Amino acid sequence: MDKFLIKGPSKVRGKVSIPGSKNASLPILAATLLFDKEVIVKNLPRVKDLEVMISLLKSLGSKITLSKDKKTAKIINPKKMKTFANYSIVKKMRGSFLVLGPLVAKHKNSKCSLPGGCNLGARPVNYHLEALKKLGMSYTLKDGYILAKSKGKLKGAVITFPKVSVGATENLIIAACLAKSKTTLHRCAIEPEIKDLTNFLNSAGAKIKWSGRTCIIEGVNSLKQTEYSIMSDRIMAGTFCIAACINQGDLEIENINSKIINTELNLLRRVGARIRCIENKIYIKGPKKIKSIKNIKTKEYPGVATDLQSQLMVLMCKAHGKSNITENIFENRFMHVAELRRLGAKINIQKNTAIIQGVKKLVAAPLMSSDLRASISLVLAGMSAEGESRVDRIYHLDRGAENFEKQLKKIGVNIKRVK
């Protein structure tokens, strides 16, 4: 199993370009199942989760041609498609569950594996299933599979999600595109990745409109051919901004619309970073003294992104004074805390709040990744600590961070991948 060796402390200097967004690519690729005309999707990130989604679509019958650089996919679906989403694939990547909505909408049935839990918590899919039922899908659960079907086309409905859910919102928007008449979804997630999905579908003739957290979808008979370029990855952009705040870094981050990480940029301004945003670039200089921040709370967008929580925690480990971070989205997203303590971080957990007492110095140690974002934060911690840290199980990181070590090396980090 690959691991990283990182020599710290290191400050980052130079330019990074942000790749396409993993969390926009997954729903958009799942949505291609609605099409029977050619679809071209560009600016895909080269990460393992995308490989899994592409292998899932191919297992369903999609004909997919990838460009040499693997950033563009040309997809055409034959009339006859399979509708069996195998556990062997779905268990690798929860986002695979997003194929359920389009398969039932287009083919009126699906045998789709329930995704397993993951390190962040139980992560049920009840909101997806209850809402799809309201569109006319019926299902039974057998041997860990959802056996779903609909008598004829799905029918539009008015649905209010019990809680904001990114995946459930995406599954329903996709399914409603081909449903009869109008579907109104209340209490939707409004992450930029969901707006990207909306723009993609509307570029193919779907009729989706937004008003706050309400999404209205007028069903259409079919979607047209389209070519679409995925948005940049705001979580990777936020990660590099945080990296610039460790040891007074100085970065030019290009290919990112700074508005979509405005909440996090304002937080880093409070930490003491100097930030300028011009067109699709962010110029950021880290502070000499990292200011502690009280009451950082992760929330649904436009709140502080839960996917940046562990990275922010690394930064607070060397802030002057006490900070606290409350995780409101997942029940178990502090797996990185025990690892940060191994470097000498002073972190106390009270229910879903981490209280971090800043320390002057972190000292290198062997570290273990537990999920994608935690593994990224352990790399940042290795950059912040003195000495050589080792980060194990970086297959977690390879799921969603394209060429991360190459990008870090280019901006001055002493990092290498070893077997």
Positions marked catalytic: 118
Contact assessment for residue 346 and residue 340, using Cβ atoms and an 8 Å cutoff: no
Q: Which two tokens stand for residue 6?
A: 């990182």
- Residue 329 sits in the site that holds ligand EPZ (CB under 6 A): yes
C-alpha 313/C-alpha 337 separation (Å) is 9
For residue 100, the minimal CB distance to ligand EPZ (Å) is: 11
Looking at beta carbons only, is 128 or 342 nearer to ligand EPZ? 128
Tokens of 21: 């967004």
Query: For residue 159, what are the β-bridge partners?
Result: 185
Residue with smaller CB distance to ligand EPZ, 111 or 399: 399
When the beta carbons of 304 and 381 are compared against ligand EPZ, the nearer one is 304
Question: Least CB distance from residue 126 to ligand EPZ, whole Å?
Answer: 5
Q: Site for ligand EPZ (CB under 6 A): which residue of 41, 50, 166, 244? A: 166
Least distance (Å) between residue 63 CB and ligand EPZ: 24
Task: Decide: 180 and 217 in contact? Cβ < 8 Å.
Answer: no
Question: Does residue number 330 form part of the binding site for ligand EPZ (CB under 6 A)?
Answer: yes
H or E stretch covering 382: helix 372-384
% helix, strand, coil for the chain, step of 5: 35, 30, 35
Q: For ligand EPZ, what does the binding mask look like between residues 180 and 219, x meaning CB under 6 A?
A: ---------x------------------------------
107 vs 123 by CB, closer to ligand EPZ: 123
Please name every residue paired with 385 in a beta bridge, in sequence order, or none if there are none.
none
Angle between helices 234-245 and 262-271 (to 10 degrees): 10
Considering only residues 100, 125, 296, 365, which one is a binding residue for ligand EPZ as defined by CB under 6 A?
Answer: 125
168 forms part of the interface with ligand EPZ (CB under 6 A): yes
> Across the strands, what pairs with 218?
182, 207
Residue number of the CB atom closest to ligand EPZ = 167
- Give, for 7, the enclosing helix (H) or strand (E): strand 3-8
Residue that the structure tokens 């390879």 belong to: 398
Residue by residue, what is the 3-state secondary structure of 193-228?
Answer: HHHHHHHHHHHCCCEEEEECCEEEEECCCCCCCEEE
Position among 121, 144, 303, 321 found at the interface with ligand EPZ (CB under 6 A): 121
Task: Indicate whether 337 belongs to the interface with ligand EPZ (CB under 6 A).
Answer: no
CB of 194 to ligand EPZ, least distance (A): 9
**According to CB under 6 A, which one of 14, 117, 124, 303 is a site residue for ligand EPZ?**
124
Interface with ligand EPZ (CB under 6 A), residue total 23
Q: How far is the CB of 373 from ligand EPZ (least distance, A)?
A: 5
Applying CB under 6 A, does 11 fall inside the site for ligand EPZ?
Answer: no
Which span (63-71, 162-170, 263-271, 273-281) binds ligand EPZ, by CB under 6 A? 162-170
For residue 103, with 0-12 CB atoms within 10 Å meaning exposed, 13-18 middle and 19 or more buried, which class applies?
buried
Nearer to ligand EPZ, 56 or 168 (CB): 168
CA angle, residues 128, 228, 129, in degrees to nearest 5: 5
Residues 363-382 that bind ligand EPZ (CB under 6 A): 372-373
- Nearest distance, CB of residue 152 and ligand EPZ, angstroms: 26
Applying CB under 6 A, the span of 136-144, 159-167, 348-356, 411-419 interacting with ligand EPZ comes to: 159-167
Q: Tell me which of 178, 396, 400, 411 binds ligand EPZ, using CB under 6 A.
A: 400
Q: State the minimum distance, in angstroms, from the CB of residue 15 to ligand EPZ.
A: 24
* Closest listed residue to residue 97, CA positions, set 71, 132, 72: 132
**Rounded least distance, CB 212 to ligand EPZ, Å:** 17
β-bridge pairing 109-113 and 73-76: unpaired
Name all contacts of 64-71 with Cβ < 8 Å and 24+ positions apart: 70/44, 70/46, 71/20, 71/42, 71/43, 71/44, 71/45, 71/46
Residue 236's alpha-carbon distances to 23, 35, 178, 231, in angstroms, are 11, 30, 33, 12
Which residue lies nearer to ligand EPZ by CB, 191 or 405? 191
Q: Which residues bind ligand EPZ (CB under 6 A)?
A: 23, 26, 95, 121, 123-128, 163, 165-168, 189, 306-307, 329-330, 372-373, 400
